[in-house]
């Protein structure tokens, strides 16, 4: 399937470049529908990536790349179930999203996240799956999960540890503060910082450069330098599910969902 137009995302293929575009209001929160469409996307990858050399992920939504998991859906679903069933549901969701993220992580294509604005939580984790991050200078990166009594659950910590020094990882995780694009580039997270509204254009230019290389060689290089930390990823799911049973999580989610605070996204 060369083109797809879903409710939360779409993809197109042009000149060997797959562009996966996120477009769920308000800021691409990842819930069950987004996950189902991401699964459709990785299923289609099997067929289309043979004829391509690059994959670009980007957002059509003005506020940013992705604000993370759909916490309202998570809260309402968990409230409707017994605790044990809610945890089971969370584990199933996490295992499905990890399969999707691992598949993109290990794609033979060179993958580029073109990000702007809010790149938080699960959105940050989605960007970390990619080989390169090109950031609009207005992009912000953050792991706000601790304020909910949780840790990132979509593979964020192991992938951040793969890419950055542990001191930076601890800063992001334990303080929950956000980094702007310049800080993220200084830390080694972002490969290019570009002007406002220029991330997708810069990602396309990068993808054009990649077309010059032998695909098998590029894939071999990627596999050599980008191992997937499977054991830590599994441990992360286990820890997340352990924490999810704690009262702090329900309280944190309720506070978020019911918040009329002018700054609910600020840690």
Site residues, other proteins (CB under 8 A): 26-27, 63-64, 67, 117-118, 137-140, 142, 175-178, 180-183, 261-267
Q: How far is the CB of 221 from other proteins (least distance, A)?
A: 33
- For residues 36 and 138, which CB has a smaller minimum distance to other proteins in the complex? 138
Q: How many residues make up the chain in this entry?
A: 267
- Starting at the edge strand found earlier in the chain, the sheet holding 140-142 runs 64-66, 118-120, 140-142, 179-180
Burial class (CB in 10 A: 0-12, 13-18, 19+), 172: buried
Q: Which is nearer to other proteins, 21 or 178 (CB)?
A: 178
Bond preceding residue 64 cis, omega within 30 of 0: no
Residue 5 tokens, joined: 């137009």
CB of 143 to other proteins, least distance (A): 12
Nearer to other proteins (CB atom), residue 20 or residue 142:
142
Q: Closer CB to other proteins, residue 149 or residue 176?
A: 176
- Are 42 and 104 in contact by the 8 Å Cβ rule? The answer is yes
User: What does DSSP assign to residue 68?
Assistant: -
- Shortest Cβ 35–other proteins spacing (Å): 23
Smallest distance, Å, CB 173 to other proteins? 14
Task: In angstroms, give the least distance from the CB of 179 to other proteins.
Answer: 8
Structure tokens at 56: 């670009």
What end-to-end distance do the CA atoms of the chain give, in Å?
41
* Cβ distance to other proteins smaller for residue 31 or 144: 144
Closer to other proteins by Cβ: residue 30 or 104: 30
In the complex, minimum distance from the CB of residue 203 to other proteins, in angstroms, rounded to a whole number? 20
Report d(CA 220, CA 213) in Å as an integer. 12
Backbone angles phi, psi at 64, to 5 degrees: 165, -170
């Amino acid at each position: 399937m060369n083109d797809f137009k879903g409710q939360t995302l779409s993809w197109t293929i042009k000149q060997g470049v797959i562009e996966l575009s996120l477009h769920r209001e308000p800021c691409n929160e990842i819930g069950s529908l987004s996950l189902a469409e991401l699964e459709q996307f990785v299923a289609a990858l099997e067929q289309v990536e043979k004829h391509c050399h690059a994959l670009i992920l980007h957002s059509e939504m003005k506020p940013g790349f992705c604000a993370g998991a759909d916490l309202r859906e998570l809260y309402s679903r968990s409230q409707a179930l017994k605790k044990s069933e809610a945890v089971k549901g969370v584990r199933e969701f996490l295992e499905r999203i990890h399969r999707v993220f691992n598949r993109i992580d290990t794609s033979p294509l060179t993958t580029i996240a073109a990000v702007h604005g809010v790149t938080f939580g699960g959105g940050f984790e989605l960007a970390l799956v990619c080989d390169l991050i090109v950031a609009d200078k207005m992009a912000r990166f953050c792991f706000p999960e601790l304020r909910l009594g949780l840790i990132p659950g979509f593979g964020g910590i192991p992938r951040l540890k793969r890419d950055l020094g542990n001191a930076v990882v601890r800063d992001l995780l334990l303080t929950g503060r956000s980094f702007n694009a310049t800080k993220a580039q200084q830390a080694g997270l972002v490969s290019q910082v570009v002007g406002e509204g220029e991330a997708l254009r810069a990602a396309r230019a990068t993808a054009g450069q990649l077309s010059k290389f032998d695909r098998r060689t590029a894939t071999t290089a990627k596999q050599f330098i980008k191992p997937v930390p499977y054991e830590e990823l599994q441990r992360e799911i286990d820890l997340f599910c352990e924490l999810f049973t704690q009262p702090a999580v329900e309280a944190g989610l309720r506070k978020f969902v019911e918040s009329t605070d002018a700054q609910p996204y600020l840690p």
